[in-house]
Amino acid sequence: MPNFPRLAIVGTHSGCGKTTVALALIGAYVKRGEAVTAFKCGPDYIDSTFHRKSQHISCYNLDSIFLSDAALVQHFTQHASPDLSLIEGVMGMFDGVGPEGKGSSFQIAQTLQAPLVLVINGRGMSTSVRALIRGFLSYAENTIDGIIFTNISPMYYPMMKSYCEEEKIKCFGFIPKDDTIQFQSRHLGLIGITEVEEISQKLAKLTCLCEKYVDLDGLLTLAQNAEPLLPSVKKQEKAKHSVTLALASDDAFCFTYQENLELLEEKGVHLIPFSPLKDSSLPSHIDGLYLPGGYPELHKDALSNNTSLLKEIKERIEQGLPTLAECGGFLYLHSFVDHTQMVGLFPGCCTKSDHLQHFGYGTLTSLTDNVLFEKGERTTVHEFHYYQSTQEGESCIERKLRNGKENQCVIATDTLFAGFPHLYFPSQPSMVYLFIDHMKNYKEHSHT
């Protein structure tokens, strides 16, 4: 039985350096010739995209809110590397939904029986590190397998390592403080990879620091000694292409789950990427349109000035082109975003607020038959946006998992599904099947 070598890189809190450590380890192991697959806990798009594009490896999400434990294991084993899979945690190690921490990095690692390596930002601490380590070990019932420090100097590392030894926990090294390898953030997370200056140089330096100061051999041995996991049923071969879907993909529309796209392709959808920022028209001979989330608000002028594309998108959707628009894609279809003209498919204006809107996981119930759902169907969704709309829709009810609060949302018809909630297709593949059926119907009737 394969053991799927794996490590979960978890943290004490957001901002402790999990992503930095994950990027460093990926770079070091790829440089060694290991085939690495990355995973990101939770619904985050940005870190997973960063891993994929910066290191040129596959990266998938692991989310136990979207998936059952059995489905989570299946999803992992289908995509895990035979050499090494690195799982980056989310927030603090135990942080999830509710006091029980559902969906936390710890819960996901336990489900996958992945060795846990705790990242600690050692800045401004000395002996207090012992109390921190002792608390995490106690709360996790001694299931933490090692520690990596960030933001400390080589001079202080021996002291930090000694604290680990005194608490009988393995220390695998540290990533020293270095302002030249920092990655900036914005209101939804890390800035996009295309915006990072000298990305290759930064990653190369980070890799060198990791090779110098981290016990890579020890971590690989830990990963290889993980408990065996029963592999899932072999993934089905992709179906022959039956429909073609235009996928908005550029710096303005970059929030896509890799597994969403793979599921579409597996079921026979031919994806054609295009750029609403640069392309003056939609790809030819398409049967559907997918406008994912992203940062259209950062590119308002460029999107607005592409008037030929705005006009075509509006006309094609009005003519019945099956369309899915999530969050940023939903903003794009409005008449205005921050008073800048957009597609104008429906009246309404989107403006940025000073706090997150409808944040978190929710259960979405469809009030109508539409392009993705039959009336009464439910699915789990996630929202993470600061923008609010004067036209959020009334086709669905979303009930938040954290507080039970309900709100109406989504504009849905038999050819359109547009709203702020993000969808994770593997959690309910039936939405993909129905979307494909509508695209097939459009293809048949548009060519007659």
Please answer whether residues 173 and 117 qualify as being in contact, where contact means their C-beta atoms are separated by less than 8 angstroms. Answer: no
Tell me, yes or no, whether 121 and 157 share the same domain: yes
| 253 lies in some domain | yes
Sole residue written with tokens 């099956």: 322
Longest dimension (CA), the chain: 76
What pLDDT is stored for residue 47 in this prediction?
Answer: 76
Regarding whether 218 and 247 lie in a shared domain, the answer is no
Q: For Cα atoms 419, 425, 431, give the angle at the middle one, nearest 5 degrees.
A: 75
Which of 194, 224, 254 delimits the end of a domain?
224
Integer Cα distance of 246 and 284 in angstroms: 9
Residues with Cβ within 8 Å of residue 420, at least 6 apart in sequence: 326, 327, 330, 357, 358, 383, 385, 387, 389, 392, 409
Q: What region, left, alpha or beta, does residue 248 occupy, with left being phi > 0 and alpha being psi -120 to 50 degrees?
A: beta
Asked whether residue 217 falls in the same domain as residue 250, the answer is: no
Closest CA to 305 of 275, 330, 333, 280: 280
Does some domain include residue 115?
Answer: yes
Tell me: do 215 and 254 sit in the same domain.
Answer: no
User: Which letter, b or e, does each residue of 286-303 get, where b requires 16 or more Cβ atoms within 10 Å of its Cβ?
Assistant: bbbbbbbbbbbbbbbebb
Distance CA 72, CA 62 (A): 7
Contact 141, 151 (CB under 8 A): no
Q: What whole-number distance in Å separates Cα of residue 248 and Cα of residue 256?
A: 10
With contact defined as beta carbons under 8 Å apart, do 89 and 12 qualify?
Answer: no
Q: Is residue 329 part of a domain?
A: yes
314 is a domain residue: yes
Q: Does residue 305 lie in a domain region?
A: yes
Tell whether 273 and 327 lie within a shared domain: yes
Angle at 76 between CA 359 and CA 100, to 5 degrees: 45
232 within domain boundaries: no
CA distance 54 to 200: 8
Alpha carbons 193 and 109: distance in angstroms, whole number: 27
Torsion angle of C-alpha atoms 420, 426, 427, 428, degrees rounded to 10: 90
Residue where a domain stops, chosen among 170, 193, 224: 224
Q: How many domains does the chain have?
A: 2
169 φ/ψ sector (left φ>0, alpha ψ -120 to 50, else beta): beta
Do 303 and 374 reside in the same domain of the chain? yes
- Do 256 and 218 share a structural domain? no
Q: Which residues carry out catalysis?
A: 327
Q: How far is Cα 7 from Cα 432, in angstroms, rounded to an integer?
A: 32
Q: Pairing state of beta strands 6-11 and 116-121?
A: parallel
Q: How far apart are CA 98 and CA 219, in angstroms?
A: 32
Final residue before a domain boundary, out of 224, 258, 279: 224
CATH number at residue 143: 3.40.50.300
- Token readout for 39 is 């995973």
Which residue range forms the structural domain that includes residue 357?
Answer: 243-446
pLDDT at 188: 44
Which among 19, 11, 20, 21 is positioned nearest to 144, based on CA atoms?
A: 11
Regarding beta strands 346-366 and 378-389, do their DSSP bridges make them parallel or antiparallel, or are they unpaired?
antiparallel
**pLDDT tens per residue, the chain (448 residues)?**
568 999 999 999 998 999 899 999 999 999 999 999 999 999 887 777 777 777 788 999 999 999 999 999 999 999 999 999 999 999 999 999 887 888 999 999 999 999 999 999 999 999 999 999 999 999 988 899 999 999 999 999 999 999 999 999 999 999 998 877 766 554 444 445 454 456 778 888 999 999 999 999 999 999 999 999 887 665 666 778 899 999 999 999 999 999 999 999 999 999 999 999 999 999 999 999 999 999 999 999 999 999 999 999 999 999 999 999 999 999 999 999 999 999 999 988 999 888 778 888 999 999 999 999 999 999 999 998 789 999 999 999 999 988 889 999 999 999 999 999 999 999 999 999 999 999 999 999 886 5
pTM over 0.85: yes
Instruction: Please tell me whether residues 192 and 260 are part of one structural domain.
Output: no
Residues 220 and 252 in one domain: no
- Residues 194 and 326 reside in one and the same domain: no
Q: Is 168 within a domain?
A: yes
Residue 422 lies in a domain: yes
Residues 289 and 152 occupy one common structural domain: no
User: Which tokens hold the place of 65?
Assistant: 């809110």
* pLDDT score, position 190: 46
The CATH code of the domain that includes 259 is: 3.40.50.880
Asked if residue 125 lies in contact with residue 113, where contact means CB atoms within 8 angstroms, the answer is no
Instruction: Report H helices in 169-257.
Output: 199-213, 216-224
193 and 73 inside one domain: yes
Rounded Cα distance between 219 and 160, Å, is: 18
